[in-house]
Amino acid sequence: MPLIPALILFLGAFTQSMTGFGSALVAMSILPSLLGLDIAAPLVAATGLILEIMLILRYRQSLRLDAIWRALAASLAAAPLGVLAVRHINERAALFLLGLLLVAYSLYALSGIRLPALTHPLWAWATGLLSGLLGGAYNTAGPPIVVYGNCRGWDAAQFKSNLSGFFIINSLFVTTSHAVNGNFTSEVMRLFLLCIPATALGFIVGQSMDRWLDPQRFRKIVLVLLIALGARLMLG
């Protein structure tokens, strides 16, 4: 039933429009259990690309390519490996690892732990490598680059624009990798076309609501929900 995936992708787009990230985390915490990982992964990659195009157009003036190019280059090299890896591991094991990632990242984000400033360029390369692997496998490239952005002290505008710049190119590469591997089946394309309006609406509503809702409070609510959803994936 396409209404449920469309609603989930709407919530994911709304979350990312409000906070600068989280669309794939929200969608991938629910859709694999409903659709299977083989459908959810390319579907979220394709709708995520549409969302990132809208976000980068909105925040393009704050984009700093010098802040993300190393991480981006490493992620592009690793993304195809992630796409291939998830096809060759047991889906139950893959969902457990995805749940573990959601819980671990959400606990970190809620803890308020201040990590040291990661100034050495090697950290950018390592961040990009991990983001690429996770993005290719689960469309969850966000957690490593979000942690890196926090350590680099990006302000709110830079956070949204830099993440959007990173995600749009990463999403394009991941989507291409799914296409090359034949993952865009007729069912995936049918759901993608049906879910484009929901993704666009989630972006529009999020942009209009961020002046009324406190993005930080909303982000904390989402993180608590992700812990519950991640635990559900781990427990099967």
Type of residue numbered 142: G
Give the contacts of 11 (CB within 8 A, at least 6 positions apart): 26, 202
What's residue 62's pLDDT? 62
Q: Which tops the pLDDT comparison, 111 or 215?
A: 111
Mean per-residue pLDDT, 186-200? 94
Nearest to 141 by CA among 33, 221, 23: 23
d(CA 151, CA 90): 34
Angle of CA points 189, 37, 204, to nearest 5°: 55
Angle of CA points 27, 29, 149, to nearest 5°: 75
What's residue 1's pLDDT? 61
* Residues 25-46: tens digit of each pLDDT: 889 888 988 998 889 999 999 9
* Residues 176-185: tens digit of each pLDDT: 888 988 889 9
Q: How confident is the model at residue 198 (pLDDT cuts 50, 70, 90)?
A: very high
Percentages helix, strand, coil for the chain (3-state, rounded to 5) are: 85, 0, 15
What's residue 21's pLDDT? 74
**Cα radius of gyration rounded to whole Å, the chain:** 16
Task: Give the count of alpha carbons within 13 A of 177, CB side only.
Answer: 28
d(CA 61, CA 231): 38
* Residues 104-149: tens digit of each pLDDT: 888 888 887 777 777 888 988 998 998 888 888 888 887 888 888 8
d(CA 23, CA 222): 11
* Residues 41-94: tens digit of each pLDDT: 999 999 988 988 887 787 766 667 777 888 889 998 888 888 887 777 777 787
d(CA 137, CA 41): 8
Q: Where along the chain do its domains lie?
A: 3-235
What's residue 236's pLDDT? 66
Q: Which tops the pLDDT comparison, 216 or 46?
A: 46
Angle of CA points 162, 204, 105, to nearest 5°: 45
Nearest to 147 by CA among 126, 168, 165, 178: 126
Nearest to 184 by CA among 42, 35, 24: 42
d(CA 172, CA 223): 26
pTM listed for this prediction: 0.79
Residue keyed to tokens 């990659």: 45
* Average pLDDT of the chain to the nearest whole number: 84
d(CA 18, CA 21): 8
Give the contacts of 5 (CB within 8 A, at least 6 positions apart): 31, 34, 35, 43, 191, 194, 195
**How many angstroms from the chain centroid is the CA of residue 220?**
17
